[in-house]
Amino acid sequence: MVRDEALQQAMNDYGHYLTRLSYVFVKDFSRAEDIVQNVFIKFYTGYERFEGRSSVKTYLYKMTVNECHNYLKSWAYRKQELTNTFAHAIHKGSPESHLVTKEGNRELAQTLRKLPTKYREVIWLHYYAELSVIEVAEVLDCSKNTVKTRLVRARKQLGKRLVEEGFDGT
Amino acid sequence: MEHKHLDELIPEHVTLTDKQRTAIVQKAKNGDLPKQMRTAKMTPIFISAAVISILCFFIFTFLGEIERKETLSDLVEAGIIREIKAEEIPYESKIPSTYITETDELIYVSGSSVFSYEVENKVQRALTDDSTGATSYNIKANANWLVWSNFDNQSLHIMNRQTMAQQVIPDFSFPRVILNDGLASFYNFDDQTFTIMDLETLQMNPVHTVDEMTSTQHFSQDGQLVTMIESYNNGEKRLEFYTHDIQTATVISVATIPFMEAGMWTYENGFIYAEYQAKDGPWKLLRVDLATNEWTILDVPEYSGYAVHGHFLALSGLEDEQSEMALFRMEGDELVKLTTFDAFTDRLVRPRFNEEGMLLVNSEDEAYTMYIVDVNKIDE
């Protein structure tokens, strides 16, 4: 069946990256697995309706980001984020605080951690998922200009130090 | 900024596993609805309450810290709680680690190596080299055996911890291997059979063959294997639980309940537990008594994770708790909250019990301290 093949192809092409992207957002492997499972099941069950509406890549990333946003709206998670805002001295995790911080990457992880969510997500979608500005705009339901502005501001906030570390900010 | 720099920040094991692919295909073809994620909305009044709580938290941090230490020390003195700092273990390794009572050690994965950390002596040592393909999510260990799947080359590795001798079963691609003393159980997708393997002799013993491809779970405890399958009967979907005697490979009992959309299944002492959500409702705990075939939805507060042992239930992600974790005693269908975690101010996450009733939890304090709670001593 076409949709069976489409599901296998989608899992082959994007399964790995969607799982890793979800992990970045929700910092919990099990939750990331749940999210990606939901995305692929919805992709499969809604395949007839999906066809031709947008690229598979954009559609899957949009679904994944939406599922992650839903999870991040939960009270428990938001309380944790609030605590971070008021208590940066308390090292309670934003997503990046639970990423691997090998010696060479510690700087990047720490700097990413300080970025507001709206800037972090454009960084991950544009540089990690390698979505174009137009695709990021589609995924986040905002305009191209908004994405561009957020990217510029995010890069600015990431700062000089990362440039010196070899992350060229481009 | 480059893709590879960001990629290196994410643990290597985070990927779409074969097990997950299989589950997705099964559920998609069965027409299962996606699991609902928790989406409780935060209202402005909650935001205000949280801000006030946090400000209060700062004001009373010092006093609270003194009180916490005193109360914690009481619990430590009573032998109910042990504190494990183990700052040399990375946080991402601490989170999925397991505790073995017999050897008083934590087992965890760092990189691709499996490590042991002796809690009392504070000694860590590698049990495997880094070429094993082990990840935090595919190892099982007890005092005598260490078992892990290598998804890269589709093999099962078995280490006898007394002799350190390793054996490798090739062409093994079955997820969710369960370890119970010297036996491993798994579901063989190829012939749709729940199978027990003797780790000493590697002899395979088929216990339960399923007629058609369906969603399955299995659990093993005290010489028994419990298998769960989703089945159809006269168009009705239902869940069937088979309790088998491992030695004789015979069925001891069968329990059947109507199908429910549930996940995070656990078996404990004759009862099955699972996270259950009625349509658009909050998450509750489903409990099935395999002896009486009765099922109950336990009225738990909104939570994010659970662990169960005997009549003790630990819940994390609780809004009303300072540490977001609480321990409950189940008295019939009622939950009685215990004060065990009231002394904690830092957030506690990931509750999990071992077979002996040792509850392991992770704190999100500066040192990412871990705590072992011996619930057996609470009843004394």
Token pair, residue B338, equals 């215990």
Q: Is B45 on the interface with A (CB under 8 A)?
A: no
Identify which has the larger pLDDT, B28 or B103: B103
* Nearest CB neighbour to B16, from listed A11, A75, A82: A11
pLDDT in tens, B222-234: 889 999 998 887 7
Angstrom distance (rounded) from CA B171 to CA B154? 5
Indicate the range of A76-80, B104-108, B129-133 predicted with least confidence.
A76-80
Confidence at A88, pLDDT banded by 50, 70, 90: very low
Tokens of B270: 């004759």
A120-134, B274-288, B327-341: segment of lowest average pLDDT: B274-288
Whether the per-residue pLDDT at B297 is higher than 90: the answer is: yes
Whether ipTM exceeds 0.95: no
pLDDT (mean) for B188-214: 88
- Is the pLDDT confidence value at B1 over 80? no
Q: Which residues of A touch B17 (CB under 8 A)?
A: 33
Residue B241 confidence (pLDDT) above 70: yes
C-alpha torsion sign, points B76, B82, B88, B93: negative
Give long-range contacts, CB 8 A cutoff, 24+ apart: A138-144. A138/A54, A138/A58, A138/A62, A139/A58, A139/A61, A139/A62, A139/A65, A140/A65
CB contact under 8 A, A108 and B366: no
Report H helices in chain B: 3-7, 18-30, 44-59, 61-77, 91-94, 375-378
Please determine, for residue A112, whether its predicted confidence score (pLDDT) is greater than 80: no
Q: Quick one: pLDDT at residue A55? A: 80
* Mean pLDDT, rounded, of chain B: 85
Q: Do B16 and A15 touch (CB under 8 A)?
A: yes
C-alpha angle B15-A76-B27 in degrees, rounded to nearest 5: 40
User: What are the pLDDT digits (tens) for B251-283?
Assistant: 999 999 988 878 888 999 999 999 887 766 777
Structure tokens of B202?
Answer: 């590697």
Contact status of A26 with chain B (Cβ, < 8 Å): no
Pick the residue of A39, A50, A74, A81 with the most B CBs within 10 A to test the interface with B by mutation. A74
Kindly tell me if the per-residue pLDDT of B212 is higher than 90. no
Residue bearing tokens 């032998």: B79
DSSP codes of every residue in B229-274:
EEEEETTEEEEEEEEEETTTTEEEEEEEEE---EEEEEEETTEEEE
Predicted local distance difference test score (pLDDT) of residue B35 = 56
Average pLDDT (B186-198) is: 88
Task: Please give the pLDDT value at position B273.
Answer: 95
A156 and chain B in contact, CB less than 8 A: no
| Residues B268, B309 contacting (CB under 8 angstroms) | yes
| Tokens of residue B312, six digits | 């003790």
Helices A144-164 and A133-140: crossing angle in degrees, nearest 10, is 120
Q: Which residue has the higher pLDDT, A170 or B316?
A: B316
Is beta strand B145-150 parallel, antiparallel or unpaired with respect to B178-180? unpaired
Residues facing residue B305 across a β-bridge = B316
Q: Could you tell me if B365 and B94 are in contact, meaning their C-beta atoms sit under 8 angstroms apart?
A: no
Computed on alpha carbons and rounded to an integer, the radius of gyration of chain A in Å comes to 17
* Residue type at position A107: E
